[in-house]
Structure 1
């Protein structure tokens, strides 16, 4: 089969690789009908995530048709149309029992490797480094899905792939970011990052009752998308974000702040940007946390900072004093996708949200390398790329 493979920093290639097969009774094999390039994939592409190996199959946002099931899979059958969540979860451990699927205790065969970096191991994940299991991803014609009796959700009506594909990751991720803010009527929520996850955080915050959502970015085309969703927008290259947010909130700051940027934050301040880029390049820190620092320093006293942008390891100059002395609550997590599949599918069916609004580019799988370049370099106003095998 064809698959998009990581070949080194800044280099992906569509190659012929062996077809996946059933390895465990709880497995299924899915023929991929739609897959997407995620901002998290760009961290792999840019070489910032350790434990990648040449030839690894990328992609953790995918859906398709079940073509084979293991003997222990009872809830799926050949021919079923499914969306596959990116975290691989057993559904039986203590974490899964609490709905914390992205920290499943049984799905990462390389847990010892993850523990060296993170203290404890999160769940395994598709197409996302050997630290998270080395599972082949879904930017391919076919994919093996472990614990298929737990993860995938069946799509049994006429909804198009593009309406449901993002249930695999970014729609639940943005929703979880908003949910972590404990939104109450009248709240002002600030979202750093107007990429697809940030867009879904904006939509989620409004659906949960926020009075005003402010979205921060530097790309005009992404800010226009946020404006169409009702957000107030700030271009951080044009204004001082903290001053602007204080003006909008009568000096208090937002009730909650969402970091939907993560480890490769860009900043308008050239000195701070150079500082973090230099430390990252020399491996003195792995992540550039400017957006997170700004969120912490801007959030109102007693407010919440929710982190849904991907961080890989270690960062410098984190303002822990502000968190402690100002009674801030810091919440973070890879999305527990399985928890949100059914309620969000219901919202899509009822017309509360059509996630396809984030898509700007549709390409065949063979053009995945071009898709990565378009997305990373923000060419042609690229916001989200969907690939069709």
Structure 2
């Protein structure tokens, strides 16, 4: 069975691994019909996660919940107290392989279709982006600013409008703001690489919304510093992530507004302006993934939302390591990919992915 493994910093390889075996009545072997590369997987490639061992299978590990703890009984399965804290959890294989053993969620087929590439994203992007908007309490007539126009940031923009947002402002650089605008016509964008001397993202946001937005959402990658001080601190290990985007969110939000974090922060940050957070009376909330698969699956099947708007590339399993480097460099307009296995349905006619 093929799997993508981490052999050291920036060294990924597709190798042959042993096939799983059934060892008791509660086991299951599941064929993978599609997987993907997440922006946070690139952090793993860089060696940011110190617990990684040579030969670990890459991709988010498939994990389930016990169904019996306090949080599981409340249907808050992503906060499961038994699986999330177990030592076994550290040894679970990642998702980029040809089969998984016993601990997968089933997303199943698409009614009347074979579009695995659509429902694949119920495993992470759709619930994560939806929950970031819901947890930050985007309301009718509200103004929203979203940092980061990767797949999760893009889909957060999609969810914000049906939640009632009157205006959504999205912030990123390079080609991504134009890509997002082409998919969501109502979206307002700020390309921070094109700001004039003396301009900052918060000052630009306040030009658009003088009192500040009601809600700011951080959907960026925390390991990428903008200023030289943070780049240096990240380089020498004095911090694991940068506080720059969170601070920009705070400065851009109105008094008594809300800031939601869905960005993949690993651990510690420096120079976080807790004083501004306190003085402005801003609510800061972490927006982890939520158990809303069934609700969002219905929305996908009823064509109320189209995850395919973010899909730009399709890779074969043998080429997935190259996909990581393309993802890191944002090459060839790569927004989100579908990684096919030998069990995948054929590429849809006329569709790039």
* TM-score, normalisation: structure 2: 0.90
Helix, strand or coil at the partner of 1:278: helix
1:18-37 aligned within 5 A: 18-22=18-22, 25-37=25-37
Native 8 Å contact 2:239 2:268 kept in 1? yes
**Cα shift readout 1:331-365 (whole Å, capped 9, x = no counterpart):** 114312xx210110011011111101111110100
Residue 152, structure 1, aligned to residue 109, structure 2: no
Native 8 Å contact 1:174 1:200 kept in 2? yes
- Provide the residue aligned with 1:137 in structure 2: 94
- Provide the residue aligned with 1:49 in structure 2: 49
- Provide the residue aligned with 2:307 in structure 1: 355
Native 8 Å contact 2:177 2:191 kept in 1? no
2:322 to 354, 357, 370: 370
The separation in 1 between residues aligned to 2:224 and 2:331, in whole angstroms, is 18
1:93 to 69, 77, 102: 69
**Cα shift readout 1:99-140 (whole Å, capped 9, x = no counterpart):** 3322211114645xxxxxxxxxxxx8xxxxxxx522101211
How far has the Cα of 1:153 moved from its partner? 3.8
2:151 to 196, 209, 213: 196
For residues 238 and 22 of structure 1, do their structure 2 counterparts lie closer, same or farther at Cα, with a shift above 3 Å needed?
A: same
Q: 5+ residue gaps in structure 2?
A: 342-353
Residue 211, structure 1, aligned to residue 166, structure 2: yes
The separation in 2 between residues aligned to 1:243 and 1:332, in whole angstroms, is 25
For residues 100 and 265 of structure 1, do their structure 2 counterparts lie closer, same or farther at Cα, with a shift above 3 Å needed?
A: farther
- Provide the residue aligned with 1:69 in structure 2: none
The separation in 2 between residues aligned to 1:23 and 1:208, in whole angstroms, is 46
Helix, strand or coil at the partner of 1:3: strand
The separation in 2 between residues aligned to 1:292 and 1:52, in whole angstroms, is 27
**Relative contact order: is structure 1 or structure 2 higher (C-alpha 8 Å, sep ≥ 6)?**
2
1:163 to 90, 102, 118: 118
The separation in 2 between residues aligned to 1:322 and 1:225, in whole angstroms, is 30
Give the stretch that moved more between structures: 253-262 or 239-248. 239-248
How far has the Cα of 1:227 moved from its partner? 4.5
How far has the Cα of 1:156 moved from its partner? 5.7
Q: 5+ residue gaps in structure 1?
A: 62-85, 112-123, 125-131, 268-272
* TM-score, normalisation: structure 1: 0.82
How far has the Cα of 1:94 moved from its partner? 1.0
The separation in 2 between residues aligned to 1:26 and 1:102, in whole angstroms, is 21
How far has the Cα of 1:219 moved from its partner? 2.0
The separation in 2 between residues aligned to 1:88 and 1:215, in whole angstroms, is 33
Residue 384, structure 1, aligned to residue 344, structure 2: no
- Provide the residue aligned with 1:238 in structure 2: 194
Helix, strand or coil at the partner of 1:257: strand
How far has the Cα of 1:8 moved from its partner? 0.9
How far has the Cα of 1:231 moved from its partner? 1.1
The separation in 2 between residues aligned to 1:300 and 1:335, in whole angstroms, is 26
Give the stretch that moved more between structures: 30-39 or 137-146. 137-146
- Provide the residue aligned with 2:344 in structure 1: none
The separation in 2 between residues aligned to 1:177 and 1:279, in whole angstroms, is 28
The separation in 2 between residues aligned to 1:293 and 1:301, in whole angstroms, is 14
1:328-347 aligned within 5 A: 328-336=282-290, 339-347=291-299
Helix, strand or coil at the partner of 2:216: strand
1:308 to 259, 262, 279: 262
